[in-house]
Amino acid sequence: MTDSAPKLIGQPLIADYLKTLDGSPGVYRMLGEKGDVLYVGKARNLKARVSNYARGQGHTARIARMIRETHSMMFLSTRTETEALLLEQNLIKQLKPRYNVLLRDDKSFPNILVAKSHPFPQIKKHRGAKSEKGDYYGPFAGAGAVNRTLNQLQRVFLLRNCTDAVFESRTRPCLLYQIKRCSAPCVGKISERDYGELVNDAELFLKGRSTQIQADLAAEMAAASAAMEYERAAALRDRIKALTAVQSVQAINPRGIPEADIVALHMEGGQACVQVFFIRGNQSWGNRDFYPRLGGVESPDEVMQAFLMQFYDNKVPPRMVLLSHGVEDMDLMREALSEKAGRKVVLGVPQRGEKAELVDNALRNARESLARRMSESATQLRLLEGLADAFNLPGPPRRIEVYDNSHIMGTNAVGGMVVAGPEGWLKSQYRKFNIKGTEITPGDDFGMMKEVLTRRFTRLLKEDPDRESEAWPDLLLIDGGAGQVSAVHEIMAELGVEDIPMIGVAKGQDRDHGKEEFYRFGQPPFALRMNDPVLYFIQRLRDEAHRWAIGTHRAKRAKAVSATPLDEITGVGAARKKALLAHFGSAKAVSRAAVADLMAVDGINEGLAQKIYDHFRV
């Protein structure tokens, strides 16, 4: 009996795979010892690309380490290299491989929506799927840029921003009409035709044609003055003044570039910042900075390519994308973005003129943003080191979880968890816990904390029993004193995770900031000196957890206040609930209505009317 051949890993393993590969385009995955995905890559020629990893030399330290850790590979061929590029980025986003560039902040961007489902269109901020009828303008870099633009549109075009329900219920003009921010179509202060013209002008403004609007307004003002319609002429004059003020603020906007994204990358000290500026309708609609995880990547063109594909994965690219750095294959990237947009996308690295100036400005912002972030990270690291020294921790914690509860006499009880680390607050990791335990006595903070921690760590143990992921905390902060700490220790011991350091933070004498006492299980309480930066750091952690828990509790309480018995009826969703309340005035009136009366409401058929009637008579 002979021993089986030793299992190949690393370079010999990769070389062995070459026997089964051909020159087709595709995507490959490099897997670690436990099947975890180390890296996802695409290739025009799979055999040629993988053969590079089979070489014994010429690799960067990062690539060499990745090769050594490779225990298996997976391959998927595609028809074209463009398909391979798109598949690669989908897999990176889904699997989050350790050695790939990863865009960590991928939130949707807000738009302005001119809703067209009403005779008097509403103008408002919109985020998410574009399912509502109307015209969308964006994306904007953030809510601030949208709000500034909406404020300008209100001043110049007097469009309503109230909901349809508020519009229908108005009997007199609101304050916005009094301060000349709305034309009050709700009470007939303007005709549907004239309001429609305001909407058209607003959309021209959003498309960058404000000069044309100003000329038209000037002509209308002159005609009104000639016809001795002085009140109308004065109103037009005020709109021209507001538009002029807007244009003066927008003087820095590019006049030769109607639509583009400006993408600039700066790398330093193993970190990267990407600044994206949004140009739409010859106007700057703000900028956003991103800090992708590099995974040891050293090449700017690789970072730029990965960023572009992940950034535009759920966004439509504009007609032009201007870059500070090129990518490995500009033609392939141009083709992929054009396919995503369904039209031609111009992609390039400008060398001179207005385009180059815009890229240089974005690059300067990226450089300054990264410098600020690195400075903040250094400060944060010093605080974490100080925290470790103060509480005799084995090292600076990489992940701190802070817990707090919020309720009013036990009602609408919630638990909150906030997370902090070397990069500051990890807001995407915050969690809220609706307290569900029926056996918990109202106001029992110990019982609430037990439920929160049991749910949190039971799930962690199920998802990652070997504690290999970054989701496991290095330190727990609990809002409470000796009793709370003892209760939490008991809970953690029952779960088998009592080795995680835990600190209870209790208000000291007179419950003043600066007099906090700290508790650890089995140790006497102690305090930090009043001016210790670590004390201020812990206060910020505790206060953030309190803010998060309070905010969650208030949201839950507000939802409970607006709840009605109609919420309990299957088949009565938000739209039908709104229609019933609008028709009858209250849920109580709905409960008294006959089947025939219920059927008079839009969307309520005989079967649903009978169900509603029966619900209130069981």
| pLDDT tier at 346, thresholds 50, 70, 90 | very high
Q: In angstroms, rounded to a whole number, what is the distance separating the alpha carbons of residues 488 and 453?
A: 8
CATH of 400-559, one of 3.30.420.340, 3.50.50.60, 3.40.50.150, 3.30.450.40: 3.30.420.340
> Fold identical between 259-371 and 400-559?
yes
pLDDT of residue 168: 86
Lookup: tokens for 464:
């990652």
| pLDDT tier at 251, thresholds 50, 70, 90 | very low
Asked if pLDDT for residue 316 goes beyond 80, the answer is yes
**Strands 517-519, 271-280: parallel, antiparallel or unpaired by DSSP?**
unpaired
Cα 206 from chain centre: 24
pLDDT of residue 596: 87
Phi, psi of 503 (to 5 degrees): -130, 130
Q: In angstroms, rounded to a whole number, what is the distance separating the alpha carbons of residues 246 and 149?
A: 9
pLDDT of residue 6: 60
Cα 260 from chain centre: 22
What's the alpha-carbon Rg for the chain, to the nearest Å? Answer: 30
User: In angstroms, what CA-CA distances link 370 with 6, 363, 366, 443, 527?
Assistant: 47, 11, 6, 46, 36
**611, 586 in Cβ contact below 8 A?**
no
Buried-state track 176-198, b at ≥16 Cβ within 10 A, e below 16: bbeeebbbbbbeeebeeeebeeb
Q: What is the pLDDT of residues 93-150, one digit of tens each?
A: 888 898 988 887 666 788 889 898 899 999 888 888 888 888 898 788 888 888 888 8
- Per-residue pLDDT, averaged over 213-232, amounts to 76
Q: Which residue has the higher pLDDT, 52 or 530?
A: 52
Quote the crossing angle between the two packed helices 300-311 and 81-95, to the nearest 10°: 80
Cα 238 from chain centre: 38
**Strands 259-268, 271-280: parallel, antiparallel or unpaired by DSSP?**
antiparallel
The domain ranges of the chain are 10-95, 111-252, 259-371, 400-559, 565-615
pLDDT of residue 245: 58
**Counting beta carbons within 10 angstroms of the beta carbon of residue 352, is it exposed (0 to 12), middle (13 to 18) or buried (19 or more)?**
exposed
DSSP 51-80: HHHTSSS---HHHHHHHHH--EEEEEE-SS
User: In angstroms, what CA-CA distances link 48 with 25, 42, 213, 458?
Assistant: 10, 11, 58, 46
CATH of 259-371, one of 3.30.750.24, 3.40.30.110, 3.30.420.10, 3.40.640.10: 3.30.420.10
pLDDT of residue 508: 63
**Among candidate residues 495, 291, 479, 493, the one with its CA nearest the CA of residue 401:** 479
Could you tell me the pTM of the whole model?
0.69
Q: Under CATH, domain 10-95 is a member of which superfamily?
A: GIY-YIG endonuclease (3.40.1440.10)
Q: What is the pLDDT of residues 391-431, one digit of tens each?
A: 989 899 999 999 988 755 545 678 889 999 988 888 888 98
Q: Which residue has the higher pLDDT, 291 or 508?
A: 291
Q: Does domain 565-615 have CATH number 3.90.1170.30?
A: no
pLDDT of residue 424: 86
Buried-state track 558-572, b at ≥16 Cβ within 10 A, e below 16: eeeeeebebeebeeb
Please enumerate in sequence order all residues whose Cβ is within 8 A of that of 436, keeping only pairs 6 or more positions apart, or say none: 451
**Among candidate residues 78, 176, 164, the one with its CA nearest the CA of residue 575:** 164
Q: What is the pLDDT of residues 205-222, one digit of tens each?
A: 787 776 667 677 777 788
First-to-last CA distance in the chain?
78
Q: Which residues pair with 263 in a beta bridge?
A: 276, 323
Quote the crossing angle between the two packed helices 46-53 and 10-17, to the nearest 10°: 160
Q: In angstroms, rounded to a whole number, what is the distance separating the alpha carbons of residues 459 and 454?
A: 8
Q: Is the dihedral of CA 16, 20, 23, 28 positive or negative?
A: negative
Polymer length in residues for the chain: 618
| pLDDT tier at 270, thresholds 50, 70, 90 | confident
Please enumerate in sequence order all residues whose Cβ is within 8 A of that of 46, keeping only pairs 6 or more positions apart, or say none: 21, 22, 23, 24, 25, 26, 28, 75, 77
pLDDT of residue 2: 44
Cα 146 from chain centre: 16
DSSP state of 320: E
Average pLDDT of the chain? 84
Q: In angstroms, rounded to a whole number, what is the distance separating the alpha carbons of residues 572 and 256?
A: 52
% the chain with pLDDT above 70: 88
pLDDT of residue 1: 40
Kindly report which listed range (40-49, 115-124, 412-421, 509-518) carries the lowest average pLDDT score: 509-518
Q: In angstroms, rounded to a whole number, what is the distance separating the alpha carbons of residues 132 and 91?
A: 30
- Per-residue pLDDT, averaged over 285-303, amounts to 84
